[in-house]
Amino acid sequence: MSTARKQYKRVTTNSLIEMKSNGEKISMLTAYDYTMAKIIDHAGIDVLLVGDSASNVMAGHETTLPITLDQMIYHASSVVRASNRSLIVVDIPFGSYQSDSKEALRSAIRIMKESGAHAVKVEGGIEIESSLSRIIQAGIPVMGHLGLTPQSIYQFGTYTVRAKEDAEAKKLLEDAKLLEAKGCFALVLEKIPAKLAKKVAEQLTIPVIGIGAGPDVDGQVLVVHDMLGMTHEFHPRFLRRYANLFEEMSSAFSQYNTDVKTKDFPNEKEQY
């Protein structure tokens, strides 16, 4: 029996928990700037993640590690100004919460105060327990992130699927339960076996959002530049391209170049 989907004027952390309870899947995309965020928000996407993936797609770095707290706040502020409905979650960047819990809290407070975002996201499980606890105790909503955690890429040495072996799978499930017990409102699982992701989603009461984690989680997230086909050289199995903007934009730029060179632009109708 189908039920009418509840309409949310503004998505909150409680909305996501309610969506899971009602069996409604959660949609989430990354956003880094005002113009793109405004379009995504208008389309009805539930969560905008101001991801540290801005380090890759916006700044051209090989990893997420170089992006700074100030830069994340800049991107987040732009996204906040564009959003009327979506919940806005911001990654705390590498080096801004791992060293000690006081620094973690300072970083989270700066993001919330200076950007106006609604929540922060951190990577890791028991290793960041003290930082996580301090942030949550301060009343700041936190989304967790397990599986392939890009901030630890040099430790992993590869972007391959995580938690395929029993020991790592067991730890991931334990970490997921820990994050829920500590008060995280949601969890991202990246690039892990679908069966394990399903098990985690079934055992947690908080929403589990996947990227490369199969269909049996509570929602999905993609990097917007990837799903729009702007980063055309990136081909992971989990990625579905909903457009081919690399080709369309390249064609538009090429045509503009030709029109300028041939003096076709501007024509009589395009001048004063």
Query: What residues are labeled active site?
Result: 190
Amino acid at 227: M
Nearest Cα to 47, choosing from 219, 217, 243? 219
Instruction: Return d(Cα 229, Cα 248) in angstroms, integer.
Output: 10
- The torsion of the CA quartet 169, 172, 177, 178, rounded to 10 degrees, works out to 140
Contacts of residues 155-159 at CB distance under 8 Å and 24 or more positions apart, as own/partner, are 159/191
Non-local CB neighbours of 236 within 8 Å, separated by 6+ positions: 191, 212
Amino acid at 15: S
Q: Residues 220, 242: contact at Cβ < 8 Å?
A: no
Intra-chain end-to-end CA distance of the chain, in Å: 61
